[in-house]
Amino acid sequence: MAGPTYRFAVDRGTFREIEHTADLGLDLTGPTPAAVLEAVQRGLVRALFGEDPTAVPDEERSVALSERDLPELLKAWCEAIYRLLEEERFVALETRVDSDRPDDFRARVRGTVLPPEEVARASELKAVTWHQLQFAAAADGGWEARVIFDV
């Protein structure tokens, strides 16, 4: 049964796929850490599928993480999104970050469970790497981050 199609009201961050010879990477910006974390969900899913999925969200998952700092939170968050796909075939389509504190991160993810053949078409994510991993306040007052995936 299809659920509501509203988007969570968050400040939107942006993502940009960066050129990396072997792997995939994202540069992210946003007015708040929460916006950056919301943007990486969209960027990661697009990177995995090569396009924005057309599926409609009809289920919700909660994610809670406790990490040392923002870069480690960014990495753990990406891993959590991918784990939902790998283990439950659940593709994250929208995110609401309720707390962006690294030691008490909480988010709700809306998405849908895809058929196995759809999941198999995605790029396999070997890892969210530590290479060039960044997440910090930007000079212009916003927030910026970089993450590189081994695919």
Partner 1 sequence: MGQIQIEKVRPNVWEIPREGPMRVPGRVYASDEMMAEIRRDESLAQVRNVACLPGIVGASLAMPDIHWGYGFPIGGVAATEAEGGAISPGGVGYDINCGVRLARSDIEADALGPARLRSLVDALFEAVPSGVGSEGSIRKLSRADQERMLVEGARWAVEEGFGTPGDLDHTEENGRIAGADPDAVSDRAKGRGLSQVGTLGSGNHFLEIQRVSRVLDPALANAFGLFAGQVVVMIHSGSRGFGYQICDDYIKRIKPRLADYGYDLPDVQLAAAPLDSDEGRDYLGAMRCAANYAWCNRQVMLHKTREAFQRVLGIGPGELRMDLVYDVCHNIAKIETHRVDGVDRKVCVHRKGATRAFPPGHPDVPAAYRSSGQPVLVPGSMGSRSYVCAGIPGAMVETFGSTCHGAGRRLSRTAARKEARGRDLLGEMEARGVIVRATGMRTVAEEMPFAYKDVADVTRVMEEAGVSRRVVELAPMGVVKG
Judged by the rule CB under 8 A, the positions of this chain that interact with partner 1 are: 17-24, 48-50, 85-86, 89, 116-117, 119-133, 148, 150-151
E-strand ranges in the chain read 14-18, 24-30, 59-65, 90-101, 104-113, 127-128, 134-137, 143-150
Q: Is 109 helix (H, G, I), strand (E, B) or coil?
A: strand
- 85 and 108 Cβ atoms separated by less than 8 Å: no
In the complex with partner 1, the residue whose CB is nearer, 58 or 118, is 118
Locus of tokens 């504190």: 101
| Minimum CB distance to partner 1, residue 14 (Å) | 17
Find the shortest distance in angstroms from Cβ 33 to partner 1: 20
Nearer to partner 1, 34 or 149 (CB): 149
Q: At closest approach, how far in Å is the CB of 50 from partner 1?
A: 4
Closest CA to 26 of 38, 11, 34, 8: 38
Three-class SS of 22-55 = CCEEEEEEECCHHHHHHHHHHHHHHHHHCCCCCC
Q: Which is nearer to partner 1, 58 or 150 (CB)?
A: 150
CB of 37 to partner 1, least distance (A): 19
Instruction: Using the minimum distance from each CB to partner 1, give the nearer residue, 10 or 15.
Output: 15
